[in-house]
Amino acid sequence: MANAPDHGAVIQERLGDDDRVEGYAFAIPVAYERSGGGVGGGKAFTRLVNAATNVASQSKHVGGEAGSIATTLPLDGQHCALTISSRSLTLWDFGMQFLDDDPREAFRLDRDQLRSIERTGKTRQGGQVEARLTFADGSYADWALHTHEAFDRGFWAAADRLSATTA
């Protein structure tokens, strides 16, 4: 990504020296909320189909009681840098083409609330790897992660260390 900022350095600057970035990967929730689409008389039908798809997808890929950690994760269709650091799990929105040098923090969770990140064995469109994030309250959410080196910097090594320390 020739014009992209150094994502890791930007994230590290935002987190500060006391919360070291261990790895990140650009990812999207598997149960992202579909919206839009349709033209003319088909708009209403498209909205109904999207609503039904959202409910079905969320019931399979987001688990937990209302208000649980997994249910508070953003479900918009924007790829974000899913970041594991020494003290937190964060999501950073670098814009549509990952080029924004002033990303929006979309989510933050204390690291001790994250139990594991495990590969589900499934792949998604474009070869994205599906991973299940499991939290201290027993809730979970499935995310699709890019595996190309431009979009994944040390994420799986950090996830594997996390799973080993919480087992």
93-107 pLDDT, tens digit each = 998 888 889 999 999
pLDDT in tens, 40-58: 666 655 555 444 444 444 4
Chain Cα centroid distance, residue 17: 23
Please report the pLDDT score of residue 162 as a whole number.
Answer: 84
Q: Are 89 and 83 in contact (CB under 8 A)?
A: yes
Domains of the chain with bracketed CATH? 7-166 (2.30.29.30)
Beta-bridge partners for 81:
26, 92
**Rounded CA separation 128/113 (Å):** 25
pLDDT tens by residue, 14-23? 999 999 999 9
With 60 as the cut, is the pLDDT of residue 26 above it?
Answer: yes
Give the integer Cα–Cα distance in Å for 126 and 79.
13
Q: Where are the alpha helices (DSSP H) in the chain?
A: 7-15, 42-61, 69-72, 155-166
What confidence score (pLDDT) does residue 58 get?
Answer: 46
